[in-house]
Structure 1
Amino acid sequence: MNGDQLDRVIRDVLHEWTPDNSGAPAGVADRIVRRHRRRNLARAAGAVLGVAGITFGAVLATGPGDGAQPPSTRVSKESRLLWQTTLPGTSWDACATGTGAVHCRGVEFDGIGVDARTGEVEWRQKAKDVNGGRSPAGSLPGVRDGVLYTYADHEPGASRAGTDLVALDVEGQQVLWKHELADDSRNRSSAVLFDGGILANSPTFKSVVALDDRTGRSLWTYSWKKADCDRTAIGGVPYLMCSPDSDKAPQRSTVVRLDPETGTPKTVATVEGPTAYIGTDGDAVLLGGMAGGQKFFGDAGPATLTRVDLGSGEVSQHRVDGLPMGTVADGIILVNGRNGNVIAYSADDGRRLWSHALGLKLREESGDPTMRELPSAAVVDLDSRVAYYLAPSGHLVGLDLDSGAVRWRGAVDVPKSPVEAGIAPELMPYDRGLIGQIGGELFRIEPKPAGPGS
């Protein structure tokens, strides 16, 4: 089950579930889906969602960590905080960096622009129904050639508002075009920029459409059956990573290349059994599969790391101790494990390279220890070979990409807030530093990590 499916199942079940005395507050389904979307794929499977006695559970099996300590490294606490800004509005879902700017989307605004040099909010585009907030964004497609691609409610104020992909001119703050999606999923594959257009969900399920990025005109469409497909662009070319959508479907997964100009499909490789899309490593696609008889991807147990070479179609598979869903950087998969632990796997053969604690305080939700705060996904600086993480508390840490040793720690003062279990802050690379978002706080910082092995 992919992210789009899980969003849909959770929402539909909870909208239909109306016992006589549920005690569940209004909008609970949408808030649960919002929590789910704010997790990246490395963390989504670790959620346990409980409402008034009904529990949707999944556990990410990454292994407990081997306890091995990396070589001694000096830890730097030097950094330069360039600016910190409190954003307008009460809730923010996703941000993306562009040329000289940061763009964010939230409940009250379909988009805002922040000067990346000063932190000043330069413009804002209000949402049509500021009291709705029923369709949060898990990510933003991005910014290209002065156009921000964001999301807005298709029917503002409706109980099931749906979603439009929106092209917004960042200079004149004018909406260039809108495109209706099949549902209100707004994750990393709902809309993908490729060379010559943007690949988006169609108004119908199991279909994608390529849109002209300036006009929104349909260039071509592609549909499939009996599978759920993630979308991405590699080298400017759109690809689908498809897995069977039920036990009745053919039990095989495929990697499909779509011609950027015509949409003509070409199957690059076929793999037995269901898989989950992990990411890309150079010219290879990484997939994860269950290898221990598990029913769901979130079930604990061994897994298979599948590597598909897009040039040759060659497939290699390797046994791993858990599903390695995480950030991929220079041949390494960084997985956020339990209790603030990070595990690094080789993207070539699945070997566990190192495991180390982040040392970030992650609070638990009162009365439910299964729900806790989450760190951001890793942001990797390949020049210094440091993987950075941000906690909801405002504390940051930088781990050596090759050994896991802590090379830098920093902190940004943010207002104290209640525990928002399952909600992860965002961290983005920018110039020589980082841009972070925690709730309504946006900041830019330049860390100065210690040298490796110093």
Structure 2
Amino acid sequence: MSLRESDPAEIGGYPLEARLGSGGMGTVFLARTASGRPVAVKLIHRHFAEDDEFRIRFRQEVAAARRVSGAFTAAVVDADPEAEQPWMATAYIEGRTLAQHCAAEGPLSGAKLRNLAIGLAEALRDIHRAGVVHRDLKPSNVVLSPEGPRVIDFGISRAVDQETLTMTGRIIGTPPFMSPEQLQSPRDVGPRSDVFSVGTLLVYAATGRGPFEADSPYLMAYQVVHEEPSLGAVPEALRAVVEPCLHKEPGERPSSDELLVLLRNLPVDLGGTEADGFGAVRPGDMVTQHLSPTPATAAPTVEPAGPGAGKTLSGRRLRHRWRPALAVAVAVAAIGGAVAALNAVRSGSDGDQGRSVAAPGAALPYGFKPWHKAVLGGREDIPDELRCVARGDAVYCGGGGVVAARLRARDGSRVWTVKSPGVPAQGVHLVGATSNTVLGYRIAAQDDPKSPLTEVVAVDARTGRELWSVPSGAQSQAVTGRTRDAVVFGSDVVTVDGSDSRLEARDTRSGAVRWTTPFPAGAQCAPVPAGPRLFAMCATDEEVDAVVVLHPTLYEVDRATGRLGAPLAVDGPAVPMGVAGGRLVLLREHLEGVASDGYDGVVRVDPAARKVTYSRLARTYAGTPGMADGTVYVSGQTGLITAIDPSTGRRRWSRQTAVEGTSGPVAGGGALYFSSATGRVVALSPHDGTPLWTTGPHADGLTGEQGASPRVTVAGRAVIVAAANNTLFAFDTHKPPKTG
């Protein structure tokens, strides 16, 4: 993944070459030593560097990683935990993580599975001999290098003789791979907690599933503490070793030395399972709920962005668009004192899987069957960019390296694809579609200096033939908090010109210019559609440059001439949501310094009365905002969805779902649809948020993302969902895929 404009050129004297990923605590870069040796440099996020608890945790991570640097871990090369932004450089380990391998190729078997098991036990033995407890062993923290498995990320590890960092009363870890004592009494966690985690890892590696699975981290944690593991698909010989590792009582589990002896005695082929016909399955959401890039990670496909790609990344939304959860934080009370509530959820409050939500008159596309496709031309290093819109039997998609593509709604078959030579940045999705034209973004390749950095491209909806293109600006995210440098408005497309100096309206089919309107002096603007009206939302150059727009100004735009009306000042920062009662609705952001902490108010703009009104929310809601049918929704990282009345700012309802990190909503057929990057979809009743059904995952993606645009589009009774890795799938709302 290419470096961004905001990334440093070097850290601690190590020149940076590429991004390897960004996780809860920091960003990981590929760098080089003076001798040319590749290293992975983990840079702690600035806002965490100012938090004493996180700084203590990072010091512990560095100390633990130094203690265990050996044949089965990533050796620490250099570190400065006291720097203004702490960092650590480790040896770069080439290879995929266990999570990535299983997602791509399925579970391991035979000699590969046995070698992994022995390698993990050897790593665990060395870690424990160094006096360290890892406490976060999971598939994304195991790299399958050519020399054997390597255990990475000691971010929440500790020395055996060290006090546990309490993190203000929360338990930090990943429930599917945590031990019962880690969930119930984290201060009592010892080396045999890691043995339990290795047991869950081996089940996962052998079957693609963990021994405990549920629709939410809370239910999963309950299973870890109280229920027996599911081992039916584990090869019989391996099961005999795994079962004692998963004992609820730490004293009944083998030590890491004893585990190594048991695994070395396994047969090379490991045998099969007793459960005839119960085969291993592909991994799902459990792979993705806890993805957190670490200093040692899989080798990236490094393709630098074009010279303008960094510009597209500017803007305040990027402070939290890619903010994965620090791993799932499970409240102590929820595990120890809420068994009755957990049982209530388990008994069916998550909804009826088979309940129909489509309107009686809704129909499926002719010949429809459920389908699952990947859009060719997409980029793996831009994993969650594809968005789609349905028009009859046509599904038009764009983003992730694709200007536009057309698929058939009935089966997902491809009609045509137009690729982008450059690497798209966050927020670059499909512009829109009319009955005969599709519009998308094209990013120039780095080696093509003559081409515009970003273009809006119009293609024929039937053939995919390019009709026209025009250079486009890329600053709207800084102004509005959303990428809206171009919007389809009726039969026109309104764009920001390539010099970021004016709005331009063109006929979507011919590209003929309808009008151009210069920005107000000293300001930058973005188009904001509001029902039948169009606004320009503007901010001063100084505020855009500072990436904090506190005083945006709205101008109504005459659709026929482009003339700007009188300005309406807004107390910001504010993000446009949509229209309710003829008024433009915006959500006010709550800032902690320059970082957004969520949304604390509703702004309503009445263009006819030229009046701006404000309502404070009862609390600050963090998550991804959206609007449907006159109601504002905020989707939290942990699956909590809140409905807000935009006319009063009052909460209509809140519903805890089993789908973390959702974006949405999309309304259709009497339901609201929210979906995560993994492709998990939840359908809720608009009336009170009652869950109607929830699906399982369809892709390997981050679930902690915030600020993502909706991934669902509705075609009659069919729901079409865009997931990570440019994956699309579709199903009948009368027969949603079952969870699991």
Scaled by the length of structure 2, the TM-score of the pair is: 0.48
Conserved 8 A contact 1:286-1:306: yes
The structure with the largest helix share of the pair is 2
Give 3-state SS (helix, strand or coil) of 2:455's partner: strand
2 CA distance for matches of 1:202 and 1:146?
A: 24
Q: Which string of whole-angstrom CA distances, capped at 9 and with x for unpartnered residues, describes residues 385-415 of structure 1?
A: x221223444321122222221222346x36
* Partner of residue 271, structure 2: none
Q: CA offset at residue 161 of structure 1?
A: 7.3
2 CA distance for matches of 1:226 and 1:327?
A: 30
Q: Which string of whole-angstrom CA distances, capped at 9 and with x for unpartnered residues, describes residues 89-139 of structure 1?
A: 453622322422112235554322101122211112233x3xx52546532
The letter for the 1-side match of 2:469 is: K
* 1:376 is aligned to 2:663: yes
Out of 444, 462, 468, which is 1:154 matched to?
A: 444
* 1:96 is aligned to 2:391: no
2 CA distance for matches of 1:49 and 1:332?
A: 35
Matches within 5 A, 1:110-121: 110-121=403-414
Matches within 5 A, 1:34-433: 50-51=27-28, 52-53=42-43, 55=45, 58=319, 75-78=351-354, 82-91=370-379, 93-99=385-391, 100-127=393-420, 129=421, 132-135=422-425, 138-155=428-445, 157=447, 162-183=453-474, 188-222=483-517, 223-244=519-540, 246=542, 252-267=551-566, 269-289=568-588, 294-296=592-594, 298-299=596-597, 303-320=600-617, 321-322=619-620, 326-360=625-659, 362=660, 374-381=661-668, 383-384=669-670, 386-411=671-696, 414=698, 417=700, 419=702, 422=705, 426-433=711-718
1 CA distance for matches of 2:536 and 2:596?
A: 22
Change (3 A) 1:449 1:256: farther
Give 3-state SS (helix, strand or coil) of 2:386's partner: strand
Conserved 8 A contact 1:163-1:181: yes
Q: Which string of whole-angstrom CA distances, capped at 9 and with x for unpartnered residues, describes residues 67-90 of structure 1?
A: 9999x9782212796322233245
* Partner of residue 44, structure 1: none
Could you say which structure has the greater relative contact order, defined with CA pairs below 8 angstroms and 6 or more residues apart?
Answer: 1
1 CA distance for matches of 2:654 and 2:584?
A: 24
The letter for the 2-side match of 1:76 is: D
2 CA distance for matches of 1:290 and 1:327?
A: 14
* Partner of residue 311, structure 2: none
Q: CA offset at residue 56 of structure 1?
A: 5.6
Conserved 8 A contact 1:101-1:114: yes
Larger CA Rg, structure 1 vs 2: 2
Change (3 A) 1:376 1:235: closer
Give 3-state SS (helix, strand or coil) of 1:267's partner: coil
* 1:17 is aligned to 2:9: yes
Conserved 8 A contact 2:636-2:662: no
Scaled by the length of structure 1, the TM-score of the pair is: 0.74
The letter for the 2-side match of 1:192 is: V
Q: CA offset at residue 208 of structure 1?
A: 1.7
The letter for the 1-side match of 2:731 is: I
1 CA distance for matches of 2:419 and 2:570?
A: 45
Q: Which string of whole-angstrom CA distances, capped at 9 and with x for unpartnered residues, describes residues 412-439 of structure 1?
A: 6x36x36586386821122223111222
1 CA distance for matches of 2:389 and 2:320?
A: 32
* Partner of residue 365, structure 2: none
2 CA distance for matches of 1:153 and 1:255?
A: 29
2 CA distance for matches of 1:228 and 1:431?
A: 39
The structure with the largest strand share of the pair is 1
2 CA distance for matches of 1:215 and 1:105?
A: 20
Give 3-state SS (helix, strand or coil) of 2:499's partner: coil
Conserved 8 A contact 2:528-2:576: no
The letter for the 2-side match of 1:18 is: E
Change (3 A) 1:304 1:419: closer
Give 3-state SS (helix, strand or coil) of 2:648's partner: coil
2 CA distance for matches of 1:433 and 1:152?
A: 29
Conserved 8 A contact 2:634-2:641: yes
Q: CA offset at residue 274 of structure 1?
A: 4.0
2 CA distance for matches of 1:350 and 1:245?
A: 31
2 CA distance for matches of 1:238 and 1:224?
A: 16
Change (3 A) 1:309 1:183: closer
Aligned residues between the structures: 400
1 CA distance for matches of 2:25 and 2:430?
A: 25
Q: Which string of whole-angstrom CA distances, capped at 9 and with x for unpartnered residues, describes residues 206-245 of structure 1?
A: 4221122222233322212444534222334321233455
1 CA distance for matches of 2:596 and 2:506?
A: 34
Could you tell me the percent identity over the aligned residues? 21
Instruction: Return 5+ residue gaps in structure 2 as ranges.
Output: 29-41, 48-318, 322-333, 335-340, 357-367
Q: CA offset at residue 191 of structure 1?
A: 0.6
Q: What root-mean-square deviation, in Å, do the aligned CA atoms of Structure 1 and Structure 2 show?
A: 4.0
2 CA distance for matches of 1:278 and 1:228?
A: 20
2 CA distance for matches of 1:401 and 1:418?
A: 27
Change (3 A) 1:90 1:262: closer
Conserved 8 A contact 1:115-1:122: yes
Conserved 8 A contact 1:305-1:317: yes
Q: CA offset at residue 348 of structure 1?
A: 0.9
Q: Which string of whole-angstrom CA distances, capped at 9 and with x for unpartnered residues, describes residues 179-203 of structure 1?
A: 1123487964111112342110111
Conserved 8 A contact 1:278-1:287: yes
Give 3-state SS (helix, strand or coil) of 1:326's partner: strand
* Partner of residue 367, structure 1: none
Change (3 A) 1:126 1:306: closer
Change (3 A) 1:196 1:48: farther
Give 3-state SS (helix, strand or coil) of 1:377's partner: strand
Conserved 8 A contact 1:48-1:56: no
Q: CA offset at residue 278 of structure 1?
A: 3.0
Conserved 8 A contact 1:163-1:185: no
Q: CA offset at residue 359 of structure 1?
A: 0.9
* Partner of residue 446, structure 1: 732
Q: Which string of whole-angstrom CA distances, capped at 9 and with x for unpartnered residues, describes residues 261-290 of structure 1?
A: 211111363334543323332421112335
Conserved 8 A contact 2:476-2:483: no
Conserved 8 A contact 1:432-1:446: yes
